[in-house]
Structure 1
Amino acid sequence: MRYMDFSTWQGAMTTIIGLAVFTLLGVGIRILMMQTIQQRRERMNRQINERLKTLIAAYRTLGGSFTGQLTVDPTHLRDVRERAQSGDEGAGEGAASSDRSRRIRDAVEAALSDILLLGTEEHCRLAAQAASDLAAGRPIHTAQLVVSLRTFIRTALDLDPMPDELMIPLQGPTRTQGGAGRGKGDAGGGGNRGAGGADAGGGGSGMGTAAMMGRRDGGPEA
């Protein structure tokens, strides 16, 4: 306050201008700090959301099945072809199921790659072990990795932990669906049936028009 001079109008003007400049500098610094903190927080939120989205997709891929074959078959297409060329008795059956198992294996490999990129230390350790088993040609189970992912995702979303008395069966990779061709066929059949109905309706309208023309020409009325 001792630097403020209001004894003359020049001193008062200088004091007011100095206070205004000081206030503007303080407000500008505060706004700049708030914008920096907000941008950093938004960037962190985007990173967390992207990480959770990727891990949730990996969880659905690795643990989308509770029944059936819960292991991942590491057999590659070249192995099936080699068995077929060597005349193995089970080559026909293996070739029939190789396409489906190959799609499951490819999806599991992509999920393991995402986990190795964005997972925690425990996730990376389990995913690396599973990837090593796949590369060595050994079938793998994904149940333990699925449990670890589920626990992390529920904690990150601030959800209650799973009850201890709840018994959840082992989970395996999601089975691929192959009903696209049948759905298209059904759709085509429905379109044909619809076209047939339209033809029948057109025939009925033509008969009605012919009857009206007959009455107009002087024919007997019904």
Structure 2
Amino acid sequence: MKKLLIVTSYLVFFVLGGLTFTYLTTTEAASSLKKISVFQEAINYYVDKVEKVPAEGQSGFIYKGTTYVPIRFISESLGEKVTWDGKTKSIYIGDAPKFIPLKDVKPISSEDDFGIFSNPAEIVISTGERFEQSYQFGGRHGAGAIQDGTGEYSSNGKYIGFETYLAPVKKSGEKYGAGSLKIYADDELVYDSGSTKEKTKVNVNFEGASKVRLEIVGGGLGVLDPHFIQ
């Protein structure tokens, strides 16, 4: 299986006629603009001793001792395809993954007959952001309130990972932190979020595991757009 490289993107605006540009970086907490100066030089590229020449206007540059080059040019020079996901601002080199919403994966066991992740809804987290296809623990959700819960799923090599965001839900978890998420692969703990006090990305690899168990403990927790990775 090919290794998958995921690179969170930067939105770059070059200033024509100069070596100064502004880029926008995105973190879980905030976004910021920063203007930097770079050195733009003629750079020669060789792949397995064969020279590769980028298209016009795709020159690399040097910043703080690190050389930055066009990722599509490098990837295609290595014989790898490149896929851009504008929704998640992600670049995939090689095979792109498939994301299966958690609601579409039937659990082999759960805390109740319906499954804790069977009925997603729109929720609002403590920052005021709204998310669809998400779950709120410790508050009203669908037909009632969900507190602690466990869901176990068969993987059998079909799924290689799990991805979601965790965040305190509005009001109920924003002051003291929210509940936590634990993920087990073949009964081995592979992820423990601890008390969630801010929006946090979760990306767990469990390639090769035969089963996966998700455990939610405590209230005030939002599980945002969760999905298995195939």
TM bracket, shorter-chain basis: under 0.3
Instruction: Tell me which of the two structures has the higher relative contact order, counting C-alpha pairs closer than 8 angstroms and 6 or more residues apart.
Output: 1
More helix by share: 1
Which protein has the larger Cα radius of gyration, Structure 1 or Structure 2? Answer: 1
Q: What TM-score do you get using the length of structure 1 for normalisation?
A: 0.20
Q: What TM-score do you get using the length of structure 2 for normalisation?
A: 0.19
